[in-house]
Amino acid sequence: QKEVEQNSGPLSVPEGAIASLNCTYSDRGSQSFFWYRQYSGKSPELIMSIYSNGDKEDGRFTAQLNKASQYVSLLIRDSQPSDSATYLCAVFTSGTYKYIFGTGTRLKVLA
């Protein structure tokens, strides 16, 4: 089992729809969770961080964390073609002091 798993996609959604991106992690001791967006050929750009169970909203983005299910998700409302990118989930675990990225989910927003 991979430490951080994401569906590689591509996930295709029409413009204006909600895109839902999922990430699961294996270490129950993980405590910090991050979503990054990476355009092709560019470096990752931080979108959101979340540290406690529940939802965290920032503009069109909502991160959701469920530690009991070891699951973190990112919702993108009113998706735009400019949101088309690879979305990386990253998890930090203090016990092992590891910061691990998933392989990313490629999102395509269709105009």
Binding site for other proteins (CB under 8 A): 4, 31-32, 34, 36, 42-46, 49, 88, 90, 92, 94, 97-104
Separation of alpha carbons 100 and 63, rounded Å: 18
How near is the Cβ of 21 to other proteins at its closest, in Å? Answer: 14
Per DSSP, which regions of 40-104 are E strands? 45-50, 54-58, 61-66, 71-76, 85-93, 98-101
Asked whether 108 and 12 are in contact (CB, 8 A), the reply is: yes
Q: Which is nearer to other proteins, 9 or 17 (CB)?
A: 9
How near is the Cβ of 8 to other proteins at its closest, in Å? Answer: 8
How near is the Cβ of 52 to other proteins at its closest, in Å? Answer: 14
Q: Which is nearer to other proteins, 17 or 49 (CB)?
A: 49
